[in-house]
A and B are shown apart, each in its own frame.
Chain A
Amino acid sequence: MTTVSLTVNGQSVTADVDPRTLLVQFLRDNLRLTGTHVGCDTSQCGACVVHLNGQAVKSCTTLAVQANASVITTIEGISQGGELHPMQAAFREHHGLQCGYCTPGMIMSAIDIVNRKGNTLDEQTIRAELEGNLCRCTGYHNIVKAVAAGAQGMAQTPLQQAAE
């Protein structure tokens, strides 16, 4: 067993884990944060995307012990005081989800795209930046619209961005 200490959605967490525990397993099984999903075992689908020190990573391809001393944000940690994060609101408003399974990873990736590429995103940029996220339901059409709108929404609520 190896001890890990990290901050998850603003809460300090310390636990002894089997070193082979993946970050996603730690989040889902130890912390019961089941919003982060597993959709593949080859690091491609992106259902497991969380933010590690502010950057989007695949939590299925990161050991929990590698995340020691880091700050993790999951889908459960981005809305504040009952208000949806602008990207969450945009996915709802633009029907950017159907079964909802890829959605947490999509939203965490989308926020990361905005953090890196800014609030005005053209369609081609969004499609290229979603390379690491698979959706089987939506055909991406409404996800692309949602990301563009969510990016604009994030510009209008700077507090939300600062929250991370």
Chain B
Amino acid sequence: MTETGIGAPVRRKEDQRFVTGQGRYVDDFNRPGQAHAYFLRSPHAHAAIRSIDTGPATIMPGVIAVFTGDDLAADKIGGLICGWMIHSKDGSPMKAGPHPALAQGKVRYVGDHVAVVIAETLAQAKDAAEAIVVDYDVLPAVVETAQATKTPVQVHEVSADNTVFNWHLGNKDETEAAFARAKHVTKIDLVNNRLVPNPIEPRAAVGEYDFGTDNYTLYTTSQNPHVARLVLSAFIGVAPEHKLRVIAPDVGGGFGSKIFIYAEETVCVWAAKKVKRPVKWTSDRSEAFLSDAHGRDHVTHAEMATDENGKIIGLRVHTTANLGAYLSTFSSSVPTYLYAPLLSGQYDIPAIYCEVDGVYTNTAPVDAYRGAGRPEATFVVERLVEKTARELGQNPAEFRRKNYITQFPHATPVIMTYDTGDYAASLDKALEISDYKNFDSRKQESARRGKLRGIGFSSYIEACGIAPSQAVGSLGAGVGLWESAEVRVNPTGSVEVLTGSHSHGQGHETTFAQLVSDRLGISIDQVSIVHGDTDKVQFGMGTYGSRSGAVGMSAIAKAVDKVIAKGKKVAAHVFEASEGDIEFKDGRFGVAGTDRSMAFGEIALQAYIAHKFSGQDLEPGLKEGAFYDPTNFTFPAGVHICEVEIDPDTGVTKIERWTAVDDFGVIINPMIVEGQVHGGIAQGVGQALLEGAVYDQSGQLITASFNDYCMPRAIDLPSFQVGMTTTPCPSNPLGIKGCGEAGAIAAPPAVINAITDALGHEDIAMPATPQAVWRAAQKARMPMAAE
């Protein structure tokens, strides 16, 4: 391993600009003549719009235009789409209601887009928005997930009982048979709390139209600018694909929420042509709370069957998934194919059956948020496994070990075929790092101080490296999930790598350069990574689902291999040797068995000057592209152990220790990978202890700012002990599994298992706030009175 090669903790190339304030985020772009957009949003969760009078607004100072849904419709601008078709058990397609970018006749959640004001300044646009008169016929709202199908309130005409789909996966008959012969059945009811993603950079968009060239440009906070362009052109119809340039520059965190194509960027592009001015919109945090797609929001009943030997023999799960008021871009896939296929966890479970009811409510749309479906699945499995071990009187670590899958490949009853792993190795390492053997003495020490100490495990698995196109296509995806790369070698030997992946914190400019530098034997400074601009980069699928390493870098590796192959042809001409005798090693092309060789950069120059070969049999230049379509998902897995101490007087839970041992396959940059683990754990701890979106019965979002939605702060978290085990991924050329979501997937059940261990009972929901834990601690103290 070289200092900058694969496996080295290379300091990030992008940091120079970020630490000096030179990052360029969407809101940092100001276009000449730019006007500002402000969206009038619905104050009601559910209302029919009788009329909208924009007249008083249009005469306000600085106002350029005011548009409503009728204006979009008049221009034949289509609605926002959901790109994954789910079929119900009975074979019927999911019931997708219309999703206009600006409301047409009805609003369906607080924050829904009613009208847009374009003005010279943002303050003027806000002033004018207050002058728009909307006559609402306020309707009753349905808010609660569990109540969605049991109410006369109807969110969309297409679904009488608010059901989007009744979907299932697994083998029902085998599962029922397993339960019939079970020695023990453990039951659990769980709520996976609704979360607000809250990347610190709010969403933003600048739309621009050039009347001379008929070209549109959109600067947008996107994790996948090409997908945004495809959807905006092919489905929404704002601009032809080849006339629309989408730029996603530095993006300040995404966590899923910037995958989707929203109303605001749609309107900014369209309105730029209408008002003949660039149009800018920047979300403030209050808007983000209302209208960024939320995450999670499941209500689940699950049961686990074990036999007389304490082996898990069956799992059945029923989940109601709240999809909000509209189907966001990938929303339907999250509680279905990103969820149920993970219900086998790390365990050899012969029979699994899962039913999922997707429902509409009068709340913000729900879509992928870090982990997307897999945290929800892991929460079900790991809470059930822990509870089962407790009910059987078994050590939770050893109960897991007994049920681990040990033979690979392993086909689960829920689609997935796990390729490789060594779960016991991660468990052993985690037990060691966490000093598990001395936990009891720590617990006694806490008890002496009047505190309750508990320990919780989470033995998670995720399917990422999303995803084999053929597989996802057969499951309803509207797109393929390959990735593209282009490696452009310049005559001086420096290299630009154009990737369809997008970096919004992941450090691709460094890790991708490490790969290329390592493979080509050139300095990492000679490699630059180009991403986030559809005019520069070939079509790509973007960054989510821990796919940029396993899929995005595999595409780069494939393109690099082609560059080397071409370089060998050039070298063969230069050395007047046979191509088969050319070797590429340590950055030099040479003739085998001789001392004749040239550096990579010298051959690059030869490729461009083309003096040594005829352009007829070998094309000049050195530039290769590749599309890589994975053959399987990847399966990162690991064991996290959380140790908490609870103050029963106040209910405050303090995380005393966190151990994470993960198997991510081959690691390009351990510093960056550990950073991903830390951030994921923090979001998972946030879900378990702090965060939860709360709507009141009328559909008003109570947790609509950081004053009420509790974000994890430094003081809420410990330092983390992070360890690694490695089984290389066999399905991609680099052996990478992916690391971006692991922490968020692993953490919530580890926290809740630790708290329930400390309390001595299972009755605590997420987020386990001080109030909730205090109340649960009261119950633990007075079991007779409470039962």
Contacts and interface: CB of A to CB of B under 8 A. Distances in A.
A47 B743 CA distance: 24
A40 B706 contact: yes
A139 B678 contact: yes
B719 A42 contact: no
A52 interface: no
Contact of B714 (A44, A137, A143): A143
Given A44-B707, A136-B683, A102 B19 contact: no
A164 interface: no
A35 to B, nearest CB: 2
Interface in A124-144: 126-128, 130-131, 133-144
A136 B250 contact: no
The 7 closest A-B pairs by CB, nearest first: A35-B21, A101-B252, A100-B18, A139-B682, A99-B505, A75-B21, A98-B505
Interface stretch (B8-16, B235-243, B420-428): B8-16
Given A35-B21, A35-B23, A40-B284, 18 more contacts: A34-B24, A39-B285, A40-B285, A47-B200, A95-B674, A97-B18, A98-B506, A99-B252, A100-B14, A100-B15, A101-B23, A103-B23, A127-B713, A130-B713, A138-B682, A139-B683, A140-B682, A140-B717
Interface string B420-450: 0000000000000000000000000000000
A130 B716 CA distance: 11
A134 B679 contact: no
B21 A104 contact: yes
Contacts of B28: 28, 34
A88 B21 CA distance: 10
Contact of B21 (A36, A39, A137): A36
Contacts of A36: 21
Interface in B168-211: 198-202
A138 B706 contact: no
Contacts of A99: 199-201, 250-253, 504-505
B138 interface: no
Contacts of A133: 714
Contacts of A144: 714, 719
A76 B679 contact: no
19 contacts: A18-B123, A20-B123, A29-B30, A39-B202, A39-B285, A40-B284, A41-B705, A42-B285, A47-B200, A89-B19, A98-B506, A99-B504, A99-B505, A102-B200, A137-B675, A138-B682, A139-B682, A139-B743, A140-B678
A38 B204 CA distance: 12
A26 B245 CA distance: 30
Nearest to B503: A99
Interface in B249-278: 250-253, 255
B681 interface: yes
Contacts of B707: 42, 44
Given A42-B705, A101-B253, A139-B678, A76 B20 contact: yes
A68 B681 CA distance: 43
Contacts of B504: 99
A74 B21 contact: yes
A28 B27 CA distance: 10
Interface in B10-46: 11-12, 14-25, 27-28, 30
A75 B20 contact: yes
A100 B23 CA distance: 7
Interface in A35-59: 35-42, 44-45, 47
B525 to A, nearest CB: 16
A138 B678 contact: yes
Given A41-B284, A99-B251, A131 B715 contact: yes
Given A98-B506, A139-B743, A144-B714, A92 B252 contact: no
Interface of A: 18, 20, 28-29, 33-42, 44-45, 47, 74-76, 79, 84, 88-89, 91-93, 95, 97-104, 107, 123, 126-128, 130-131, 133-144
Contacts of A74: 21
A103 B720 CA distance: 21
B504 to A, nearest CB: 5
Of B11, B251, B252, most buried by chain A (CB within 10 Å of CB) is: B252
Nearest to B713: A131
B280 to A, nearest CB: 11
A74 B682 CA distance: 28
Contacts of A136: 198-200, 253, 255, 679, 682-683, 711
A18 B234 CA distance: 43
Given A35-B21, A79-B20, A137-B253, A101 B713 contact: no
B507 interface: yes
Interface in B502-518: 504-507
Contacts of A126: 714
B127 to A, nearest CB: 11
A129 to B, nearest CB: 8
B717 A37 contact: no
Nearest to A98: B505
B253 A98 contact: yes
A127 B30 CA distance: 36
Given A91-B15, A92-B11, A140-B714, A100 B250 contact: yes
Contacts of A76: 20-22
Nearest to B743: A139
A73 to B, nearest CB: 11
B592 interface: no
A135 B683 CA distance: 10
B286 interface: yes
A46 to B, nearest CB: 9
Contact of B12 (A84, A92, A139): A92
B377 interface: no
Contacts of A28: 27-28
Interface string B696-720: 0000000001110001111101011
B748 to A, nearest CB: 14
A128 B715 contact: yes
A41 B711 CA distance: 14
B20 A84 contact: yes
A76 B28 CA distance: 14
B672 interface: yes
Nearest to B254: A99
A101 B743 contact: no
Of A29, A99, A140, most buried by chain B (CB within 10 Å of CB) is: A99
Given A47-B200, A92-B19, A140-B717, A134 B706 contact: yes
B201 A88 contact: no
A92 B16 contact: yes
B679 A98 contact: yes
B585 to A, nearest CB: 32
A41 B11 CA distance: 33
A138 B672 CA distance: 10
Contacts of B20: 35, 75-76, 79, 84, 88
Nearest to A99: B505
B671 interface: yes
Of A33, A100, A143, A144, most buried by chain B (CB within 10 Å of CB) is: A100
Contacts of B711: 44, 134, 136
Contact of B719 (A29, A41, A123, A128): A123
A129 B96 CA distance: 48
A130 B679 contact: no
Contacts of B712: 139-140
A123 B719 CA distance: 9
Nearest to A18: B123
Nearest to B711: A134
A33 B20 CA distance: 11
A135 B679 CA distance: 9
B295 to A, nearest CB: 13
B261 to A, nearest CB: 20
Contact of B717 (A29, A33, A39, A139): A139
A127 B19 contact: no
A36 B679 CA distance: 23
Contacts of B683: 136, 139
B200 A39 contact: yes
A107 B23 contact: no
